[in-house]
Amino acid sequence: MKIGFIGIGHMGEGMARNLMQAGHQLTIYNRTRSKTERLRAEGAAVADSPAQAAAAAEVLITMLADDDAVGAAVLNGYPGQPPAIEGLQRDAIHMCTSTISVAMSRELEAAHKPRGQQYVASPVLGRPEAAAQRQLWLIAAGPQPAVERCRPILEALGRGFSVVASEPWKANLMKLGVNFMLASLLESIGEAFALVEKAGADVRQFLEVMNNGTFRSPLVENYGNRIIEKRYEPAGFSMRLGFKDVRLAMQSAIEETVPMPLTGLLSDHYLHALAHGHGELDWSAIAEVSRQAAGLTKTLRAGG
C-alpha cells in the first residue's frame, strides 16, 4: 500500500519503520527534515511539504503532538508548504493516530468530507519503545469500509486494535479517558510513595507488596520503578503532553456536563511542574510534585 506519513518523532519513526518492514511504500514528511534521514536511508521517500506526502497516498497517517500541529500539517500548511488536505486524493484516507481533542477530530472529518476524502481516527496506546517493537494498541473509529481498508496498517503498527464506532471522534474520546486514568494512576503512586518515604518505610518494598499483592500489573511495576529510580529523562511521554491530555479530558467533561474533579487536581500538578521548567521530563515525574509538597525535596528532580 502507498502510505504518506507525517510526523517522524519519538513515536512516528518506529511506527513508520514497522510499516516499511511490513512491505508498505512510504513517503514521509517532518518539519525538522534531519529526523527523516534514518528512514530515508532505509528506503522511504522524503516529501518537501505535507501536501506532497499526501499526494500519492492511499492512506495518509499523521502522528503529531497536538491539535495545533495536526491543524497546521493537515488543514493550514506552513509558509511555502501547502497542507496535506490539498494533496490528498479523492477516496484516499487520512488516518490520524495523534491524541487530539474531540473538537479537532470533528473538524478534520468535516474538512475531508466535501473533498471526497475519508477520515479515520486511530489514536495509539503505548510509549515510543512500544511503537518501535510493534506493541501498540490502537483505537480505531470511522466509516466501516474505511476502517477495513486500514486493517493492514493497523495490523502492522501494533499487537492489536479495537474498532469502537463509526464516528471518528469517539476513538479520540476513549483515548483521552485512558490517558486520564493513567495520569490518575501516576498521581496516586506518587502520593503513596511520598507517604511511605516520609514515614521512613521502604518504597521499593512497598511497590513489591502493592503490585504483587493487588495490581499484578506490568504498567504499575514499570512506572513505579521509573519513579523510584527518578528515570525521568529522556521522556517517553512528557509532562507537557500529559498536561495537554488532562486539559482535553477536562474540556470533554465540560462539554458533556460530567463532573471529573480529579482533572482539576491533575491539571494543577502538571501546571506546577511546567511552571518550574520541567515540561520535558517524563510525565511520571508528576510524583515529584507530591514529594515536594511533602517536604522531601525542594524542587522537582530530573535524575537519580
- Residue 301 pLDDT level (bands cut at 50, 70, 90): low
Percentage with pLDDT > 70 across the chain = 99
With 0-12 / 13-18 / 19 or more C-beta atoms within 10 angstroms meaning exposed / middle / buried, residue 160 is: exposed
Burial 83-106 (b: 16+ CB within 10 A, else e): bbbebbeeebbbbbbbbbbbebbb
Q: How far apart are CA 200 and CA 246, in angstroms?
A: 32
What is the structure's pLDDT at 298?
82
Q: How far apart are CA 168 and CA 146, in angstroms?
A: 11
CATH class of the 2-167 domain in this structure: alpha beta
- Residue 154 pLDDT level (bands cut at 50, 70, 90): very high
Which of 52, 154, 146, 156 lies closest to 108 in space, CA to CA? 146
What is the structure's pLDDT at 65?
95
- Are domains 2-167 and 174-293 of this chain identical in fold? no
**pLDDT over 80 (residue 304):** no
Mean pLDDT of 10-23: 98
Mean pLDDT of 38-64: 98
**pLDDT over 80 (residue 303):** no
Mean pLDDT of 293-300: 88
The dihedrals phi and psi of 209, each to the nearest 5 degrees, come to: -65, -45
The dihedrals phi and psi of 220, each to the nearest 5 degrees, come to: -60, -45
**pLDDT over 90 (residue 147):** yes
**pLDDT over 60 (residue 121):** yes
**pLDDT over 70 (residue 16):** yes
Is residue 35 part of the annotated active site? The answer reads no
Average pLDDT of the chain to the nearest whole number: 97
- Quick check: 40 and 95 in contact, CB under 8 A? no
Tell me which of 1.10.10.10, 1.10.1040.10, 3.40.50.300, 2.40.50.430 is the CATH number of domain 174-293.
1.10.1040.10
Mean pLDDT of 103-110: 98
Mean pLDDT of 47-63: 98
Per-residue pLDDT reduced to its tens digit, 204-242: 999 999 999 999 999 999 999 999 999 999 999 999 999
What is the structure's pLDDT at 138?
98
Domain ranges of the chain: 2-167, 174-293
Say which of 175, 198, 230, 244 is annotated catalytic. Answer: 175
Give one word for 232, left, alpha or beta, with left for phi > 0 and alpha for psi -120 to 50.
alpha
- Alpha-helical (H) ranges within the chain are 12-21, 37-41, 50-55, 67-70, 84-87, 102-112, 128-132, 144-149, 151-157, 169-198, 203-210, 218-228, 239-255, 261-275, 287-293
CB atoms within 10 A of CB 182: 18
What is the structure's pLDDT at 299?
76
Percentage with pLDDT > 90 across the chain = 97
- Residue 300 pLDDT level (bands cut at 50, 70, 90): confident
Q: How far apart are CA 48 and CA 220, in angstroms?
A: 42
